[in-house]
């Protein structure tokens, strides 16, 4: 996968600027990115997921209770049941802080540092846990732009992958003395517990 980028005018919007129209445009852009290459098999994915989960769990260790470890383990074990779906181009940090408004066309996406072939459902995880709770209007606008809602299998996959996102938020928040990011990780865990 090759990504060509260029400088864009625009600004990172304030939270109050994230209107349904911005979310709709972001959905259009993500769908276009996900469709940039044909679907690809990911036979390596479960091994990669186990390694990444162990890596982030060791870094988040001071913040995890035995119950936290159990819920994370259960959700990540469910990712491979029954099969890993095909992958495609993914941004992997797709959230409002990486959108610019005021550029030609309205919304642009930045920060492709982590982009690679992965499960497209991962690009919905941060939106699902961090933005959409309590804002069904933004979810509906985004999915309207994306062109379709997640299938039931994709929805379950996004839910289970929240465990990996919780681990990374806790670990990075702890290491960088960022209480807001730690709180994001804890809130994701709370949501996972609630639906366990």
CATH topology of domain 15-194: Aminoglycoside 3'-phosphotransferase; Chain: A, domain 2 (3.90.1200)
Whether pTM > 0.85 for this model: the answer is yes
Rounded to the nearest integer, the mean pLDDT of the chain is 90
- The CA-CA-CA angle for residues 100, 105, 111, to 5°, reads 30
Q: What is the pLDDT confidence band of residue 104, given thresholds at 50, 70 and 90?
A: low
Instruction: Please say whether the beta carbons of 130 and 166 come within 8 A.
Output: no
C-alpha–C-alpha distance, residues 47 and 76, integer Å: 12
Q: Residue 182 has which token pair?
A: 């730690």
Model pLDDT for residues 74-92, shown as the tens digit of each residue: 999 998 776 788 999 999 9
Model pLDDT for residues 9-26, shown as the tens digit of each residue: 666 666 667 889 999 999
Listed residue (117, 118, 122, 45) closest to 84, CA to CA: 45
- pLDDT at 65 > cutoff 90: yes
Listed residue (191, 133, 132) closest to 162, CA to CA: 191
Q: Residue 150 has which token pair?
A: 């997640």
Domain boundaries, the chain: 15-194
């Amino acid at each position: 996968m090759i990504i060509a980028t260029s400088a864009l005018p625009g600004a990172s919007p304030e939270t109050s600027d994230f209107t349904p129209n911005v979310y709709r445009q972001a959905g259009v852009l993500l769908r276009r990115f996900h469709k940039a290459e044909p679907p690809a098999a990911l036979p390596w994915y479960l091994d990669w997921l186990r390694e990444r989960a162990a890596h982030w769990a060791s870094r988040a260790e001071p913040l995890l209770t035995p119950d936290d470890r159990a819920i994370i383990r259960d959700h990540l074990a469910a990712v491979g049941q029954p099969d890993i779906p095909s992958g495609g181009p993914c941004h992997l940090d797709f959230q409002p802080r990486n959108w610019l408004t005021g550029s030609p066309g309205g919304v642009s996406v930045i920060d492709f540092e982590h982009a690679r072939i992965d499960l497209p459902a991962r690009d919905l995880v941060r939106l699902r846990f961090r933005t959409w709770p309590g804002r069904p209007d933004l979810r509906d606008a985004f999915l309207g732009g994306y062109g379709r809602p997640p299938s039931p299998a994709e929805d379950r996959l996004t839910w289970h992958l929240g465990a990996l996102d919780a681990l990374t938020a806790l670990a990075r928040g702890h290491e960088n003395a960022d209480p807001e990011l730690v709180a994001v990780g804890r809130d994701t865990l709370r949501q996972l517990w609630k639906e366990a």
